[in-house]
Amino acid sequence: MPRVMRIGRVELKVLDLEKSVDYYTKIIGLQETGRMGDSVYLKAWDEFDHHSLILTKSNTAGLAHLAFKVETLEDLAYYEKQVEKFGCTTTRISRGARLGEGEAVHFILPTGHHCELYTEIDFLGTAVGTLNPHPWPLGAQGIAPHRLDHCLLTGDDLKTVTRFFIEALNFRQSERITSVDGEELLGSFLFTTNKAHDLAFVKGPDAKLHHAAFFVDSLHDVFKAADILSMYEVPFDVTPTRHGITRGETIYFFDPSGNRNEAFASGYMTYPDMPTITWTEDKIGQGIFYHRRELSESFMKALT
């Protein structure tokens, strides 16, 4: 069976490119791997591929595109047909259109977000290598996450976008948020790996980004991230807490352009045969912020 392996990259639109690069390298702790035009490419220390984050200068903040990596060129062709069968128009992005990348299949999700599938990308390796590696690199800067973990996007028709990922891309749904009567879908958490989610959607305006998340090891690392963010006076959205949904430990904050970031730790493992967990609208506060049990206005409305 062809397989979508994981979320591979996100491209964020930023207002001040150099200020953003400074933030994502010094505070988040990513490594700059190259530049092309108005874009800068970055990776986390524990990622093998050339980049997982692209920062592109723009007049507005938000998500330019997100992309998922498949295993082979045959898988890429298979999923291209699956996407078209679902009713989405595909176009091919040529090799070399972006730095370090091979050919990609581009399409627009039912929620209006630009999405791509790819398999070929330059290989740089991790900061600790693959021969007798140390558990983490000396000299790591900032929060120093292991990897890009997931994105949360907003859209109006969550039933259709959920059906797209399940039917066209073979994702599964780990959790969902529904109205109390179960008729309306308000949140959808989707996975293709063993993570609690690789991508999620909540009800809201189409084509918006809620946050891009980076994985850290533990709650201790979440608190360390909070300390670093406070030292640099980075604006917080939510200070350290736990999710009910995914059981992850979390902190939310904003990059210089207003794009929300998350440092995310833990979370349960998923398996293909697990049932979907349901949260109802009356318990959504506890589902998102398990301790506080209510949502803040900024968490609901600050979108890019």
pLDDT at 60 > cutoff 90: yes
Give the model's pLDDT for residue 116. 98
Concerning whether 262 is annotated as a catalytic residue, the answer is: yes
Q: Write the pLDDT tens digit of every residue in 33-56.
A: 999 999 999 999 999 999 999 999
State whether 112 and 153 are in the same domain. no
**CATH number (domain holding residue 41):** 3.10.180.10
Helix, strand, coil percentages (3-state) for the chain, rounded to 5, are: 20, 40, 40
Q: How confident is the model at residue 196 (pLDDT cuts 50, 70, 90)?
A: very high
Concerning whether 211 is annotated as a catalytic residue, the answer is: yes
State whether 27 and 163 are in the same domain. no
State whether 151 and 114 are in the same domain. no
State whether 64 and 187 are in the same domain. no
Amino acid letter for position 235:
P
Catalytic residue among 50, 113, 150, 210: 150
Whether residue 220 is contained in a domain is answered as yes
Residue 27: exposure state from Cβ atoms within 10 A (0-12, 13-18, ≥19): buried
HSE, CB side, 13 Å, CA atoms: give it for residue 130. Answer: 4
Catalytic residue among 23, 41, 79, 252: 252
State whether 220 and 110 are in the same domain. no
HSE, CB side, 13 Å, CA atoms: give it for residue 118. Answer: 27
State whether 110 and 18 are in the same domain. yes
Whose CA is closest to 142, among 241, 211, 250, 230? Answer: 230
Q: Write the pLDDT tens digit of every residue in 20-35.
A: 999 999 999 999 999 9
Number of domains within the chain: 2
Concerning whether 50 is annotated as a catalytic residue, the answer is: no
Whether residue 133 is contained in a domain is answered as no
Residue 215 sits at the vertex; the CA angle it makes with 212 and 220, to the nearest 5 degrees, is 125
Q: How confident is the model at residue 1 (pLDDT cuts 50, 70, 90)?
A: confident
Whether residue 186 is contained in a domain is answered as yes
State whether 81 and 192 are in the same domain. no
Once rounded to an integer, what is the mean pLDDT over residues 161-168?
A: 98
How many other C-beta atoms are found inside a 10 Å radius of the C-beta of residue 257? Answer: 21
Give the model's pLDDT for residue 212. 98
Concerning whether 146 is annotated as a catalytic residue, the answer is: no
Give the model's pLDDT for residue 121. 98
Q: Could you tell me the residue range of the domain that residue 80 belongs to?
A: 4-118
Average pLDDT, the chain: 97
State whether 102 and 151 are in the same domain. no
How far apart CA 186 and CA 294 sit, in angstroms, is 16
State whether 159 and 209 are in the same domain. yes
Whether residue 26 is contained in a domain is answered as yes
Q: Write the pLDDT tens digit of every residue in 264-294.
A: 999 999 999 999 999 999 999 999 999 999 9
Whether residue 279 is contained in a domain is answered as yes
Q: Write the pLDDT tens digit of every residue in 119-161.
A: 999 999 999 999 999 999 999 999 999 999 999 999 999 999 9
Q: Write the pLDDT tens digit of every residue in 177-188.
A: 999 999 999 999
Whether residue 48 is contained in a domain is answered as yes
State whether 54 and 159 are in the same domain. no
* DSSP-based three-state secondary structure for 82: helix
Whether residue 126 is contained in a domain is answered as no
Once rounded to an integer, what is the mean pLDDT over residues 240-250?
A: 97
Once rounded to an integer, what is the mean pLDDT over residues 71-77?
A: 97
Residue 113 sits at the vertex; the CA angle it makes with 107 and 114, to the nearest 5 degrees, is 40
Q: Which 8-state DSSP code applies to residue 2?
A: -
State whether 171 and 212 are in the same domain. yes
State whether 102 and 152 are in the same domain. no
Catalytic residue among 113, 197, 210, 249: 197
Give the model's pLDDT for residue 117. 98
Concerning whether 291 is annotated as a catalytic residue, the answer is: no
Concerning whether 51 is annotated as a catalytic residue, the answer is: no
Whether residue 135 is contained in a domain is answered as no
Give the model's pLDDT for residue 159. 98
Q: How confident is the model at residue 192 (pLDDT cuts 50, 70, 90)?
A: very high
How far apart CA 101 and CA 54 sit, in angstroms, is 12
